[in-house]
Amino acid sequence: MKLSFKHTIYASYVGYITQAIVNNLAPLLFLVFKDTFGLPLSKITLLITVNFLIQLTVDCLSSRFIDKIGYRKSIVAAHILAFAGLISMSVLPSVMSNPFLGLIISVILYAVGGGIIEVLISPIVEACPTENKASAMSLLHSFYCWGTVAVVAISTVLLHIIGNWRLLPIFWAVIPVINAFVFLKVPINTLTDEGEGMSTGALTKSGLFWIFVILMVASGASEQAMSQWASAFAESGLGVSKAVGDIMGPCMFSLFMGVSRVITSKLTKSVDILNIMPVSGCLCVFSYLMAGLIKNPIPALTGCGICGFSVGVLWPGAFSLASKRFPKGGTALFALLALAGDVGCMSGPTLVGELAGIMGDNLSAGLLCAVVFPIILIICCLYLSKENTK
């Protein structure tokens, strides 16, 4: 069968599902790790920090090596590393004398793969011959959400049925290893010819570029501060069971985020995405206030879902806007924006965890403090709107 760019886009969808697996499987097992290995909340928080710190480092370095190595070799290697990290998570904590070190090694392996996937999938799709780039980008990023929903729902069911958490990483490791072979065959374009893309130095000299950097930091923090802690928040903060917490916390969050991105992919055909983003930011502020202030489980968990819907447009929207403003940005642009996004993805959940620990493991208080991130995002969107008017 002759493979076309349609198959490239399909493989990219699965790439974001892989990204969802490496970012969201471990948080579902946080309390399992705590009970099985006797890990305190501070060490569990470190797993989130290491994951995004490694991805951040990969984002920082990737603009230098991806163009030299090539898109195809890089994306295949990324999927293999994700596979290796997931298999290691199942095996290493049980065979090493220090289970936490085994978890850290596993996180490092799949975080390197996840970082490369994050940098490359968006430019691979952006380089495909599609008509509406903003629509294609929103639809692409929706598969991160569908992947997260699948990871949460299927993992919850399997954990309930088989009762052995070590089988979950092995089960999910099948997806990246298959997709690695697919990326060996599909056609792949690049955004710019060799030597034509803007350099990192040229981008960083632009004041407007730094607005997009702040926008990406705020987007990543607004998204992951809720997503990474939703399951633990539902269980420990609201007192619901693990199954209910997983389904009504991160699962509902991702479901609403995916719906938001699909709707956005339709709206951007007639509405400027910059008009949608500040409204989403205001809705995000409201959702964090609901989750942080309301003690009743139903409205508090509803706040998690609303947060997912509100942040859906932010990350792909920022990518689309930046790509329009910097058409010669190339791989460096997407790598630096992904770097900024991962700074947010790391700082958001870490801030929530640390503040919750200071306040006696009060996750409601930690989530309430995270409202600062969507506020910063709204300010950036208003500035970009003002620039558009000029």
Instruction: Give tens-digit pLDDT for 278-309.
Output: 999 999 999 888 877 877 767 777 888 888 89
Q: Does residue 138 contact residue 262 with C-beta atoms inside 8 Å?
A: yes
Question: Percent helix, strand, coil in the chain (nearest 5)?
Answer: 85, 0, 15
**Residue whose token pair is 């006797």:** 38
DSSP 3-state of 56: helix
Report the C-alpha gap between 24 and 26 in whole angstroms.
Answer: 6
Instruction: Give tens-digit pLDDT for 197-248.
Output: 677 778 888 888 899 999 999 998 998 888 777 777 666 656 666 666 666 6
At residue 252 the predicted structure's pLDDT band, cuts being 50, 70 and 90, is: confident
Phi-psi region of 284 (alpha: psi -120 to 50; beta: other; left: phi over 0): alpha
Instruction: Give tens-digit pLDDT for 144-164.
Output: 888 888 888 888 888 888 888
User: What are the DSSP E strand ranges found in 41-196?
Assistant: none
Burial of 1 (0-12, 13-18, 19+ CB in 10 A): exposed
Burial of 80 (0-12, 13-18, 19+ CB in 10 A): middle
Query: pTM for this one?
Result: 0.78
| Class of the CATH-defined domain 5-389 | mainly alpha
Share of the chain above pLDDT 70, in %: 91
Report the C-alpha gap between 334 and 163 in whole angstroms.
Answer: 41
